[in-house]
Amino acid sequence: MTKKSPPLVGIPACVIELNESLFHRVAEKYITGVVEETGCLPLLIPALGDHLDFDDLVDRLDGLLLTGSPSNVEPHQYDGQPSHEGTKHDPQRDEVTLPLIRAAIERGVPLFAICRGTQELNVALGGTLHQNVHELEGKNDHRMNRELPREERYDDRHPIKISPGGILHRLTDGADEVMVNSLQAQAIDRPAAGVFVEAVSDDGVIEAISVLNAPAFTLGVQWHPEPAIVRELPLSKAIYRAFGKAVRDRQISRSSDRSPRAA
């Protein structure tokens, strides 16, 4: 019996400079999260922009994971004001993720977005971002506390209020609130048309979104569920489980489409 290949989950890479050379990189925690929590095979997508045929690429994928990053979406992508001096950007990643998101949603590819990925999801569909949430009146500082030991940086920081009727509401068996970590400077400002706000923080920052009428599982979360210690939490388990099921369903559907028809 031929062994069935695992579903393919595409993960777009960031571009970083190291020792005067450019590298296309995905942090290991995202890769192992896909492998260990869904049983799928990660496929790292280089930030090659116009060299990629996005429609063809998503047709080869069973799922898409969008990661966090030290960089931010360039503000011209959503008609935002210029960033503060020293803000990290990755235009090569933007050139891949934004059209890839639109192609994936259109073709029914399950999509799970984390942190920067959630901001990309909103921008790709026409929404805008707050570039520095901590500078807004009445908002908390959601940035990573770098004074903490690394193993404590992903501890729960604040509650989020879950919207009734959404994906998170279903995955938490109807919970009103859960605790999450917080490691970002940016967040969603105006949600794109067709975006459903799944959860907000205690200071009103949008913490999770989905896409109304998306043909497949599409969820973005602002916090980080991918570190090994956080993946042990019930909410993280539930999200990865739902994403994995959607990805496997997509693989079955693709396999059926490729199967020879009976005469």
pLDDT, tens digit, 9 for 90 and up, residues 184-223: 999 999 999 999 999 999 999 999 999 999 999 999 999 9
- Look at the alpha carbons of 101, 57, 35, 245 in this order and tell me if their dihedral is positive or negative: positive
Active site (annotated) includes residue 226: yes
pLDDT digits (tens, 9 = 90+) for 219-235: 999 999 999 999 999 99
pTM of the model: 0.95
pLDDT digits (tens, 9 = 90+) for 35-90: 999 999 999 999 999 999 999 999 999 999 999 999 999 999 999 999 999 999 99
Rounded mean pLDDT, 109-118: 98
Rounded mean pLDDT, 117-133: 98
Answer yes or no: is pLDDT of 103 > 80.
yes
Which of 95, 120, 198, 226 is catalytic? The answer is 226
* pLDDT > 70: percent of the chain: 97
Which of 37, 115, 130, 142 is catalytic? The answer is 115
β-pair partners for 130: 187
Longest dimension (CA), the chain: 67
Active site (annotated) includes residue 115: yes
Task: At 8, give phi and psi (nearest 5°).
Answer: -100, 125
Q: Distance between CA atoms of 172 and 188, rounded to whole angstroms?
A: 23
Q: Which residue has the tokens 């908390």?
A: 140
* Alpha carbon distance, N-terminus to C-terminus of the chain: 24
Answer yes or no: is pLDDT of 151 > 60.
yes
- Asked if 9 contacts 43 with a C-beta cutoff of 8 angstroms, the reply is yes
Q: By CB neighbour count within 10 A (0-12 exposed, 13-18 middle, 19+ buried), where does 97 fall? A: buried
What's the pLDDT at 146?
87
55: Cα separation from own chain's centroid: 19
